[in-house]
Chain A
Amino acid sequence: MSHLTEAERQGLAEGSITADRGAALAAHLSGCAECAADVEQLRSIVQRVHDLPAPVGALDGLWPDIGTRIEGAKVRALSAHDVRPVAGRRLRHVAWLGGAVAAAACIAAGVYLRGRPAADAGPAPNGAAALQPAVDSSRTSQADIQRLLDEIQMEKAMLPPATAAVADSDLRAIDAAIAELREALARDPNNPAIRQLLAESYRQQQDLLTRLHNAS
């Protein structure tokens, strides 16, 4: 007897499988104790994760500047229409990368993926102002950012080590450029050339994360 795949077990556990498919898989579970036990275990883990409070404190500890910027950039509360079900996450993800949400995520990813110490991540007042044009169109929630970062981390882990190393080098190069530009903008906030270079660096970061997503 062939067992359910890992994706099928996960899908059953988190309820993201379609009803038709779910019925077929449930039939398998009724005759396979091994799969049934595994799915039940996954369900309990998923339930425990759902029961946990939102990790607001931990998130702020990781990215104090990101949290401040995102909160500051929020201009509206998410409506029920914006909160989509877990199913279809992959499709939604592509849309994120193509859209403005990714711009803000890129800023976060640039900091997070390189594991910069939290103390270094504090934004200078002028630096935060400089970021404003890049995040103006990126009104989004911290939960969306968290989800995107999780997926990017997972995708990076699935790459061959050599490719992941290349991606890390590229991300570091872009992050160093952004840091230098932010410093320069803090000293000379009205310099349009620096603003344009900074915008270009964010665009590069977004492009790179999109390519990274495509690689997995």
Chain B
Amino acid sequence: MRRNRIAARRLAACLTVAAATVLWVAPPACAQARTPLLRARHLAGDAPVKVFFPSGAITIQAWDRDSIDVRGTIARGERFYLAGGDHGVKVGVMDHVDGTPVRPSTIVVRVPRRSEVSVKTVAASIDARDASGWFYSVSGPIRLTGAASSLEVESMAGDVSLDVAAPWVRARTGGGRLAIAGAPQDLDAATVRGALDVDHAAVVHGRFASVEGDIRFAGALPGGGLFEFSNHAGRVALVLPNTASALVDLSTITGVIDNAFTQIRPVAGQGGRGGTLHVQLGPGAARVTVRTFKGTITLAKESP
């Protein structure tokens, strides 16, 4: 009897240890679905980096090293690649040839500061800091920050958020919202139906356009600055500081001009529809032109 009890205790102890071992070794279900990733290689300081990352989230960071480093987790079953040489690499997750959706992965890519990156995603979000180059997403959000030499950002339907210092920026989205801050000196920004918001960005030359989205520009206009706004059916709102210095030229074909900045009233257009307004604010150091077809144009003072 006693021998049986001892055997039973031993068996129970063994089972307990085995169960504990299984629980310790087996990762949780979410971890099972992803494979950890760490790849790195030497890369020339100005080498191009081409990225295709269909789904999930990708972060691009520029660093002061002559190498590329990729970390993250790749969805189980998806194929990661890092190919090329010292003078250019391609990195990303392979698309499926049969068109089935690629499962979401997450990676952080560090590239040399002078690299020209080319990033394309389908639904994956792009978050880049201090990186220069071309960023494209079909529907994922794009967020760029830091300093860059030039940026070209395009999305079919995703939101685009820029808070960058760069000499040249071109940004496009369709139905997504385009938000701009920072110091994009020479800026060409457009949406089709999404809102376009410029919030105290240090723009010197700016071209802003939409078809149906509202455009809102708030902030100062630098001396010698050139600004052109164009909208078909959406509103254009200029919210300028009390000290603004600009020659402002507003015209709408069938829309309304609402001038809350000065006492000057717009001149009505043909048949009483639409109108124009030419007004000088301060010494008139910058030049602003706004055109809409039927969207309302608002000129307002920024609240102190």
Contacts and interface: CB of A to CB of B under 8 A. Distances in A.
B232 A197 contact: yes
Residues of B in contact with A, size category: 20 to 34
Choose among B155, B172, B230, B232 the residue with the greatest number of A CB atoms under 10 Å from its CB: B232
Contacts of B232: 177, 180-181, 197, 201
Interface stretch (A38-46, A86-94, A141-149, A203-211): A203-211
Interface string A76-105: 000000000000000000000000000000
Nearest to A207: B172
20 contacts: A158-B99, A160-B139, A162-B139, A163-B157, A166-B139, A166-B174, A170-B175, A170-B192, A170-B193, A174-B192, A174-B211, A184-B253, A188-B270, A191-B253, A193-B253, A200-B209, A203-B209, A204-B190, A204-B209, A211-B156
Chief secondary structure at chain A's binding surface: helix
Interface string A183-203: 010001001011011001101
Given A163-B157, A170-B175, A207-B190, A200 B230 contact: yes
A191 to B, nearest CB: 7
Given A177-B232, A201-B232, A215-B156, A170 B270 contact: no
Given A166-B157, A177-B293, 16 more contacts: A162-B157, A163-B156, A166-B139, A166-B174, A169-B175, A170-B174, A170-B192, A173-B211, A173-B212, A177-B233, A196-B291, A200-B209, A201-B232, A204-B190, A211-B154, A214-B136
A179 to B, nearest CB: 11
Interface of B: 99, 120, 122, 136, 138-139, 154-157, 172, 174-175, 190, 192-193, 209, 211-212, 230, 232-233, 251, 253-254, 270, 291-294
A212 interface: yes
Contacts of B175: 166, 169-170
Nearest to B213: A173
A125 B211 CA distance: 25
A197 B211 contact: no
B291 A197 contact: yes
Interface residues of A, number: 31
Nearest to A164: B156
Interface of A: 158-160, 162-163, 166-167, 169-170, 173-174, 177, 180-181, 184, 188, 191, 193-194, 196-197, 200-201, 203-204, 207-208, 211-212, 214-215
A197 B293 contact: yes
A100 B190 CA distance: 20
Contact of A212 (B120, B139, B156, B253): B156
Contacts of B138: 159-160, 163, 215
- B190, B192, B233, B293: most-surrounded residue (chain A CB, <10 A): B192
A191 B253 CA distance: 9
B120 A214 contact: yes
B193 A193 contact: no
Contacts of B157: 162-163, 166
Contact of B193 (A169, A181, A194, A211): A169
Contacts of A160: 122, 138-139
Give 4 nearest A-B pairs by CB, closest first: A177-B232, A170-B192, A166-B157, A170-B174
A194 B204 CA distance: 26
